[in-house]
Amino acid sequence: MNFNKLVSALLLSGLGLLGCSAAIAGQLPVAQAADACLGAGTLIDPITGNAPQVQDAVGTDCVTQPEVQLVTFYKIAVCTSQPTAPTVSTAVDLSSCSTYMSDAAGTTISVQLGATAPFSPSTVTAPPNNTYTWAYIELKPELSVQKTAYFDVAMYDTQPSANLGHWCWSQAAPLGTVYYNYSTENHFTSAATQCGLTPGVAAPTTRVINSFNGNVGISAAIISGTASHPINVYLVDQNGYNPAGASLVADAMGPVAKLIGILPINITVDGSTTGINVVYNNSHGATVNRAWVYPNTPSGLPAVMFFAPTAFDLNLVTTPIEPK
Amino acid sequence: MQAKSLRLLGAMSLCVGLVACNSDNSTYRIGVSVTGLLSGQSVTFLDNGADSLVVAGGTSQAYFERRIGQGGAYAVTVGTQPGNESCVVTAGSGSNVHSETVVSVTCAPTVYTISGTVTGLATGQSITVKNNDADGQLVTAGGSGTDAFSFSVGVPYQQTYAVTYTTTTFVQCDVTNGSGTATANVTNVTLACHATFAAGVQGI
């Protein structure tokens, strides 16, 4: 399957939603239709949930709500102008930005539908009153989801024994660690899921974004936005530099240390502001990566290769003072 | 004969009178001039360790009962300080007294410290506490949950204090025991703070 192509599309399109509340709202009906993954033939666009369905050459994917969605935040800043991009020798210029969340060790948030998980107050500082038009988000390039799904037809898993059953569930690291840049397809999907006649014990599968372009190389670390979606996504090293040209290591982080998103927003912080929340679309939090051709399965029969986090379907919103 | 006797008696009387003038047994008052003594307060002074003189607030000048003879010495000290005040005698001793002497005494209220604690700040978060809108003290949370502060400038007895705070972060604090009239060291001012700015991740 064209796994890498799909991943890139997810990243770009998903981040394109970051600064757009309308887009978020527009996805809510899809969120209500979560678990549209039920049934091998029940397909939806993994990004928009709308027809026409998206299907790659050998498989198809759909989005669903995970039971657990883990995202690790290092820093969030709001900016009055677009931060400059990192280069191979310079980090992102945040001179126009005010950091309102910072945790060098990383704060892992379990995104829950309908709930708000707070950052520790010790990591939060209110930005000065101002209108901010750009956001800078620094994440750990590892995202995790846990999911147990029921399919209307029996699915094969990625275990060597190729179990078959209506129930499939995610597997934890190390077998459940799925790298963007992998040594072989068999490797990165081996045992990332398990299927059976009854549900088993699920655990978070971790998606390691050690490249934007699979095993091609890290030179594709920059995804530039378009005029309609001026989004820039970067993988950076420990210095915050673009590691383009560095040696890429399959099945490992290599030089990649963080995943950065720079996105347009439109928020105003004033005397009535009591906070800024990242609104994260948990309903679309997981993608079910399915395949119709897989070495361990009879050709043409559906397999669940892995459950993985979808795009960063999020936005920044301010919260006002609650009326008394 | 009678006239001669009267002249002799007159001469003797004059002589006695001259003797008396030459020995000069004059005495002089020793006094205190007190400033700053509050109404309702009193201070006791001693001269040469005795002869207590109690001066009440509102009295500007008073004298010891015992007078000092010509050429005598005096040493005015404070026997008992007033409550909540402290009096200091300036140039309180001298000798070879030959005139009435008044020493200066300056009294000042006792200065009390104002201190307390701040709770509820996140580690590294800070506020500035002020007393009577001055003497700002930066309080930065160290992580223990409770952070102490003490103003560098005290408050004189019977003067008012009023603890307030300013912050550049989104923090609100409830101040308890933050105002009053100083009659002793104040140690129980508390500021219970909570963040008014929060950030998180909302799942939709």
Percent of chain A with pLDDT over 70: 62
pLDDT at B164: 95
Q: Which amino acid is it at B97?
A: V
Best residue of A21, A111, A116, A282 to probe chain B, by most B CBs closer than 10 Å? A116
pTM confidence score: 0.60
Q: Using the beta-carbon criterion (under 8 Å), do B201 and A275 form an inter-chain contact? A: no
pLDDT at A59: 42
Lowest mean pLDDT among A150-154, A181-185, B53-57: A181-185
Residue partners of A281: CB distance under 8 A and separation at least 6: A17, A24, A27, A31, A313, A314, B203, B204
Q: How confident is the model at residue A44 (pLDDT cuts 50, 70, 90)?
A: very low
B170 in A contact zone (CB under 8 Å): yes
B49 in A contact zone (CB under 8 Å): no
pLDDT at A126: 85
Lowest mean pLDDT among A1-5, A94-98, A218-222, A244-248: A1-5
Beta bridge partners of A290: A304
CB-CB neighbours of A7 under 10 Å: 23
Query: Please, which residues 171-200 of chain B have a Cβ atom closer than 8 Å to chain A?
Result: 195-200
Q: How confident is the model at residue A203 (pLDDT cuts 50, 70, 90)?
A: very high
Q: Would you identify the CATH topology of the domain B111-195?
A: Immunoglobulin-like (2.60.40)
Residues A173 and A145: their CA atoms lie apart, in Å, by 11
Residue partners of A181: CB distance under 8 A and separation at least 6: A210, A211, A213, A214, A215, A218, A248, A249, A250, A251, A254
Total residues belonging to chain B: 204
Which is higher by pLDDT, A23 or A275?
A275
Sort B10 into a burial class: Cβ within 10 Å, 0-12 / 13-18 / 19+.
Answer: exposed
Q: How confident is the model at residue A16 (pLDDT cuts 50, 70, 90)?
A: very low
pLDDT at A309: 78
Percent of chain B with pLDDT over 70: 87
Q: Pull the structure tokens for residue A75.
A: 């820093």
Q: Tokens 């070879």 sit at which residue?
A: B96
Where exactly does CATH 2.60.40 map onto chain B?
26-109, 111-195
What would the pLDDT profile of B110-155 be if each residue is shown by its tens digit?
A: 999 999 999 988 777 788 999 999 999 999 988 898 999 999 999 9
pLDDT at B130: 96
pLDDT at A177: 73
Shortest CB distance from B198 goes to which of A113, A274, A280?
A274
Residue from A47, A12, A8 nearest A27 by CA: A47
pLDDT at B179: 97
The alpha carbon of residue B133 is apart from the nearest alpha carbon of chain A, in Å, by 23
Residue from A311, A285, A287, A282 nearest A60 by CA: A287
Report the side by side order of strands in the sheet with A314-320.
Answer: A116-118, B198-203, A273-280, A314-320
Q: Does domain B26-109 have CATH number 2.60.40?
A: yes
Per-residue pLDDT, averaged over A24-52, amounts to: 34
Lowest mean pLDDT among A192-196, B12-16, B83-87: B12-16
CB-CB neighbours of A79 under 10 Å: 24
Buried b (16+ CB within 10 A) or exposed e, B173-199: bebeebeeebeeebeebbbebebebbb
Q: Is the pLDDT of residue A75 over 70?
A: yes
Report the side by side order of strands in the sheet with B134-140.
Answer: B134-140, B126-131, B160-166, B179-181
Q: Using the beta-carbon criterion (under 8 Å), do A122 and B125 form an inter-chain contact? A: yes
Asked if A24 and A279 touch (Cβ cutoff 8 Å), the reply is yes
Q: Pull the structure tokens for residue B13.
A: 């009387």
Q: How confident is the model at residue A112 (pLDDT cuts 50, 70, 90)?
A: confident
Q: Using the beta-carbon criterion (under 8 Å), do B204 and A31 form an inter-chain contact? A: yes
Residues A321 and A317: their CA atoms lie apart, in Å, by 13
pLDDT at A264: 86
Q: Using the beta-carbon criterion (under 8 Å), do A116 and B200 form an inter-chain contact? A: yes
The alpha carbon of residue B165 is apart from the nearest alpha carbon of chain A, in Å, by 17
What would the pLDDT profile of A222-241 be if each residue is shown by its tens digit?
A: 555 556 556 677 888 999 99
pLDDT at A114: 85
What would the pLDDT profile of B92-105 be if each residue is shown by its tens digit?
A: 999 999 999 999 99
Q: What angle do CA A304, A309, A311 make, to 5 degrees?
A: 125
Q: Is the pLDDT of residue A103 over 90?
A: yes
pLDDT at B18: 41
Residue from B89, B112, B118, B115 nearest B102 by CA: B89
Residue from B135, B68, B133 nearest B103 by CA: B68
Residues B173 and B163: their CA atoms lie apart, in Å, by 11
Q: Is the pLDDT of residue A45 over 60?
A: no
Residue from A238, A259, A219, A253 nearest A15 by CA: A259
Q: Is the pLDDT of residue B27 over 90?
A: yes
Q: Is the pLDDT of residue B157 over 90?
A: yes
pLDDT at A138: 95
Residue from A8, A59, A2, A1 nearest A213 by CA: A8
- Report CA A317 to chain centroid distance, whole Å: 19
Q: Is the pLDDT of residue A291 over 90?
A: no
Lowest mean pLDDT among A12-26, B97-111, B179-193: A12-26
Lowest mean pLDDT among A272-276, B1-5, B22-26, B129-133: B1-5
Lowest mean pLDDT among A80-89, A102-111, B119-128: B119-128
Which is higher by pLDDT, B115 or A124?
B115
SS3 assignment, position B52: strand
Which chain A residues are Cβ-neighbours of B204 within 8 angstroms? 24, 28, 31, 113-114, 279-283
- Where do the structural domains in chain A lie, given as residue ranges? 3-318
Which is higher by pLDDT, B168 or A139?
A139
Residues A146 and A276: their CA atoms lie apart, in Å, by 27
Q: How confident is the model at residue B66 (pLDDT cuts 50, 70, 90)?
A: very high
Computed over every residue of chain A, the mean pLDDT equals 71
Residues A260 and A97: their CA atoms lie apart, in Å, by 14
Q: How far is CA A105 from CA A117, A255, B147, B160, in A?
A: 17, 18, 25, 47
